[in-house]
Chain A
């Protein structure tokens, strides 16, 4: 029943979507408001239909209706309810439905927010924005209608389901995919606006202003998703790392890079009306890379931990990607004459140049990651030999670029727009540079001698110095001139120049994360040893004693763990129980990592292998200094973005109320 109903709902949604797209284009071209209104209603109806489909599938999952193949493959009767719910995005069909639901939701939000309000220029763009968004939805609905139907039946009906991959039955599964999808789908909105601007031939800055918040919020979700994925990988997968330059990880990183470049270069276009073509290229690239990432995950052409490929899906995604690229770049080429900017600069040394360099580095990293990701395929196609492009390559090439970016982060906010005077530069750079030199000297004295680490820290100190000095000086000035207390001045400053200070906080978060990455990679210490009961392993200031194995039954698996006691400087500090989980229908066990996470270092223990009789076990102990700074940095980035996108009206009300209370 659900199967038929669900399938029907999706077909209906497809029809409504196509109608909405056609009606909005027709209404726009003929100037018919009634068609436009009808298309807007169709967009909302589309959202309702897809929501209904989601409800149906979730209902089937929660009630364990195994007549649906998808439910049988992604849940079991004993699964906890929240994992039954998460089964919606556990594998291919459901994840496409979730994506499409988010797409329809965003399209509905765009209609609700911008259709009757907003500037007139916006109203001209809207029909085409809708058409593009509905077109994207149409693709995903087509996928489900003809290739990967989440409501497909299975016969005979199995008594119990296969269940989610055990690696996915964790709380993280409830969060990570959603964050990423919100980011991915979010970028389709600025893309749609950009295409609408190109189609209508209105190369103004309007669409930038309208979509600024969408872009930043989508960026936030994507950043959050990437950080969260690394954190999940680190805590759970059992190899002690958080990023493997896996093709699908790269595929989430690439749109992040172009989106970051876009967020910066739009500031130039907003102020100076330059770089129009380039910004359109960036937003198209971002969206295309999002589709490329989804293509990689679902086509299986590059091996990856994330890949869950099936059938003709890969071909359809590739066709869609080709369509998007040819359509968008074709439009850009077609309109490029009308888009020529009239950029003017007073001097080459200016913030505009710094932003150009920022774009260069970010797109450079993106190009490198892209090249490295598809190079094995290229090599096989042209030479017939299989090669690998992995971590050593990506690290070697992206670290220098990362340092350049770090430097720009410090320098960029200090250089004035248009032209930077020498005095201005000297004054702004002097103290942070001194701070950098002093800090690096102290590090050297403490025993840090590696050139890369010192250089990275020098840049980090520089950037932190610029940010801190900026905040402090500005706050002090305001406090003095306005007669406010330090904290009030600080808060008002934040609220009044949200973009700037929010941006600086984001930079601060990035620097903190970079420090975490640098220190934890260079100073990571690990040791693997086979121990008999009572024996110890020494690593750094710790010593870890193996006290024997134990085993126990859990609801879904059998857990075997090692009892360990960690001593620091001779004193017992932690009891650790790393283990392995054995699931009935999985061939190899899954690691169950145990670790102690502190802000200054992590003690991380894995059980590698063991003798069945419990006489000995091989354990691997890793000390990761300052790795938590990566996650902390992520949190600071989140904070910075929130500051930057706080809505104006509410804020004015808040500050007015606060002032009234004080008065």
Chain B
């Protein structure tokens, strides 16, 4: 039979807690759902429509949030309250209205300020290191964790003598008989 480690307060039986548990969980959900009602309508727009076309502001925000405000520390052009950032947002809006794509707009700013103006490094060449290394490291780490866990498990199973199957069967049978007689 499996060994089952108990913690203080571990459920002796889950049956009694069921109703109370559900009630509390429902309470938690309700309290979460109320504020969700305050959310914008089903298609949440990040920026509201203005005198311009409905999703222009949204597109301006999207493009601007990938550009770095060059006079601030680490803020995006979308977030920065500085004057230059505001002018840059206006410029982005104009370029979008002229029909330029976000890539073209980014390319324009890069041609003027260098790659520095992009808030995330472009995914090519040397920069692939910064995009790729975290995942590589994670995979390597996961592999390490697996190896360690397996080594521990092997040690654990070596330490515990395996049960003779016939004996185990007999134990199970006898336990079942006892449970059956206890129930009646």
Contacts and interface: CB of A to CB of B under 8 A. Distances in A.
Q: Do chains A and B make direct contact within the complex (CB under 8 angstroms)?
A: yes
Interface of A: 238-241, 244-247, 274, 303-305, 342-348, 352-353, 356-357, 360, 363-364, 367-368, 371-372, 375, 379, 382-383, 385-393, 396-397, 401, 416-419, 421, 423-424, 427, 431, 435, 439, 442-443, 446-449, 461, 464-465, 468-469, 471-474, 476-478, 480-481, 493, 496-497, 500, 515, 519, 522-529, 538-540, 591, 599-601, 606, 608-609, 618, 620, 623, 625-626
Contacts of B47: 525-527
A304 B152 contact: no
A540 B42 contact: no
B74 A363 contact: no
A608 B90 CA distance: 14
Given A472-B20, A527-B48, A609 B86 contact: yes
16 contacts: A345-B153, A356-B149, A375-B121, A388-B120, A390-B74, A446-B36, A449-B42, A472-B20, A472-B21, A472-B24, A480-B16, A497-B8, A525-B40, A525-B47, A525-B48, A526-B61
B152 A538 contact: no
Contacts of B142: 360
Nearest to A369: B134
Contact of A239 (B2, B81, B159): B81
B14 A473 contact: yes
A418 B65 CA distance: 47
A347 to B, nearest CB: 6
B63 to A, nearest CB: 12
What interface size band does chain B fall in?
35 or more
Interface string B58-88: 0001000110100001111001110100100
Contact of B50 (A443, A481, A527): A527
B7 interface: yes
A390 B120 contact: yes
Contacts of B8: 496-497, 500
B170 interface: no
A599 B44 CA distance: 20
Given A343-B155, A344-B156, A356-B145, A392 B137 contact: no
Interface stretch (B25-33, B96-104, B161-169, B174-182): B25-33
Contacts of B14: 427, 473
A468 B25 contact: yes
Contacts, number: 250
Contact of A388 (B10, B16, B21, B118): B118
Contacts of A396: 120
B92 interface: no
Given A353-B145, A476-B17, A497-B9, 5 more contacts: A244-B79, A388-B117, A392-B66, A469-B21, A609-B83
Nearest to A539: B48
A601 B40 contact: no
Given A388-B119, A473-B21, A608 B81 contact: yes
B183 interface: no
A473 B17 contact: yes
A600 B142 CA distance: 38
Nearest to B158: A344
B79 A477 contact: no
B150 interface: yes
A442 B35 contact: no
A379 B13 CA distance: 59
B20 A439 contact: no
Contacts of A442: 29, 33
Contacts of A528: 89
B40 A515 contact: no
Contacts of B35: 519, 599-601, 625-626
B155 A344 contact: yes
Given A239-B75, A391-B76, A525 B45 contact: yes
A389 B68 contact: no
A497 B2 contact: no
B137 A600 contact: no
Contacts of A360: 138, 141-142, 145
A417 B116 contact: no
Contacts of B42: 447, 449
B34 A600 contact: yes
B28 A464 contact: yes
A474 B11 contact: yes
Nearest to A372: B130
A515 B39 CA distance: 14
Contact of B127 (A357, A368, A379): A379
A620 B153 CA distance: 58
Contacts of A379: 121, 126-127
A496 B20 CA distance: 22
A387 B119 CA distance: 8
A357 B118 CA distance: 34
Interface in B87-145: 89, 114-121, 126-127, 129-131, 133-134, 137-138, 141-142, 145
B53 interface: no
Nearest to B157: A346
A478 B141 contact: no
A419 B159 CA distance: 14
Contacts of B160: 346
B4 interface: yes
Given A345-B156, A525-B46, A625 B39 contact: yes
B126 A382 contact: yes
Contacts of A390: 68, 74, 76, 119-120
A526 B46 contact: yes
Nearest to B68: A388
A352 B2 contact: no
A625 B38 contact: yes
Nearest to B155: A344
A497 B119 contact: no
Contacts of A401: 138
A515 B32 contact: yes
Nearest to B6: A416
A345 B151 CA distance: 9
A575 to B, nearest CB: 21
A392 B65 contact: yes
Nearest to A368: B134
A385 B65 CA distance: 22
B10 A393 contact: no
Contacts of B157: 346
Contact of A371 (B24, B126, B130): B130
A332 B142 CA distance: 23
Contact of B86 (A343, A397, A515, A618): A618
B120 A389 contact: yes
A591 B83 CA distance: 13
> For B39, B118, B157, which residue has the most chain A Cβ atoms within 10 angstroms?
B39
A524 B108 CA distance: 28
Contact of A524 (B3, B32, B46): B46
